[in-house]
Amino acid sequence: MIVKYMLNYSPRLDQVFPALADPTRRAMVERLSRGPASVSELARPLTMSLPAVLQHLQILESSGLVRSEKAGRVRTCQIEATALRTAEQWIADSRSRWEQQLDRLGAYLARKDDQPEHRRD
């Protein structure tokens, strides 16, 4: 799909936002933000099967939000901050652009209030 005004198009955002759209995956990211964890540590508080947890983990890994490494029989997962930063930056850019627009509008209205109206008599 071609969107003419989508200047900062990033294929990574197309994976990161859908990955964060699910509350279980956000819970996994929150847990991992407190430190690396094995798959079973990640799964323990979740009320779902291990295959379901692994499927969520796979989506987090494809999005670049999480990476995991296997040492012996234990797979340890950790956050990849770059993907989080990309999403955070996109939101921050949109928000600050909009806030600047609001400030400009506010300043314009204030100027308009101060000036007497020019009449054409």
Among 27, 38, 61, 67, binds its own copies (CB under 8 A): 27
Cβ-in-10-Å burial (0-12, 13-18, 19+) of 35 comes to exposed
**Is residue 1 near its own copies by the rule CB under 8 A?**
yes
Smallest distance, its own copies to C-beta of residue 86, A: 10
Is residue 12 involved in binding its own copies (CB under 8 A)?
no
CB 82 within 8 A of CB 72: no
71: contact with its own copies by CB under 8 A: no
Signed CA dihedral, 4, 6, 8, 9: sign only: negative
Distance CA 108, CA 102 (A): 10
Site residues for its own copies per CB under 8 A = 1-9, 13-14, 17-18, 20-21, 23-24, 26-27, 29-35, 45-48, 79, 81, 84-85, 87-88, 90-95, 97-99, 101
